[in-house]
Amino acid sequence: MTLTIAALEPLFHQPTVLATSARQLDLELVLMSWARQWNHDWHSQLPELGTSIGWGDVRIAHALTFDGGVYAVAIWTRPMAANRMAHPADHMVELRRLAIPDYSPKYTASRMLGQMERWYKRERTECRLLSYQMTDVHSGTIYKAANWHQASTQTTHAAWGNHTLWDTPDAETSPKIRWERQIRKCDAVKVEEPQLAV
């Protein structure tokens, strides 16, 4: 299995020549430390990640790049509320953050979801992708466009899962929709571990 790391210096790399179409953007596997910094710079609601960004064996970070510039970042871990799921935790990965700077072209989010789904199909063995939408600030358009389905809705302001694992009080109390995307049949799978250093 071949992994690539974007050759990006310094940590924040605003492009000098902007991409004009999301189709120009390519997916790269990047260091988690870089992803945390870009998320801090770009995420409008949850710029911080807790000291423990997740539990379990998966910490994966992706970026969309073009001509040395970075246009989006995503962070994946094992599900934070795996005890609420119908499938074992090692069958799933959760999109914990997706952050996009203002200069990115239209449809960057949809491009990234599609590229990451193809990466998971090609490079990993999990069968299901999931993500939580904060309903008070987002409408879920990117998930609908990428053919994800709405798996559950939380309408009350109650903590999900283990309190110590959530990143901020806002992340814990905002009403949420859980979106899921099944990318292959959920048989008993053994997950490979193509991990980058943190």
Q: How far apart are CA 162 and CA 164, in angstroms?
A: 5
For the entire predicted model, the pTM comes to 0.78
pLDDT given at position 139: 76
* Helix or strand holding residue 173 (H, E): helix 169-173
pLDDT digits (tens, 9 = 90+) for 91-137: 899 999 999 999 999 999 999 999 999 999 999 999 999 998 876 66
In this predicted model, what pLDDT tens digit does every residue of 156-169 receive, in sequence order? 544 444 444 445 44
pLDDT of residue 111: 95
Return the pLDDT at 55. 54
Question: Where is average pLDDT lowest: 33-47, 148-162, 173-187?
Answer: 148-162
pLDDT at 57 over 80: no
> Is the pLDDT confidence value at 148 over 60?
yes
Express the helix, strand and coil content of the chain in percent, nearest 5 each.
25, 25, 50
Compute the CA torsion angle 31, 22, 119, 188 (nearest 10 deg): 110
Q: Quick one: which of 142, 158, 166 has its CA closest to 72?
A: 142
Give percent of the chain above pLDDT 70: 66
74-100 pLDDT tens trace: 999 988 765 556 555 678 999 999 999
Q: What domains lie within the chain, and their CATH numbers?
A: 22-182 (3.40.630.30)
| Omega cis (within 30) before 10 | yes
Residue 140 main-chain phi, psi, to 5 deg: 85, 15
Q: What is the mean pLDDT of the chain?
A: 78
pLDDT grade, residue 153 (50/70/90)? confident
20, with CB counted inside 10 A (0-12, 13-18, 19+), is: exposed
Q: Comparing 81 with 5, which gets the higher pLDDT?
A: 81
Q: Does the pLDDT value for residue 183 go beyond 90? A: yes
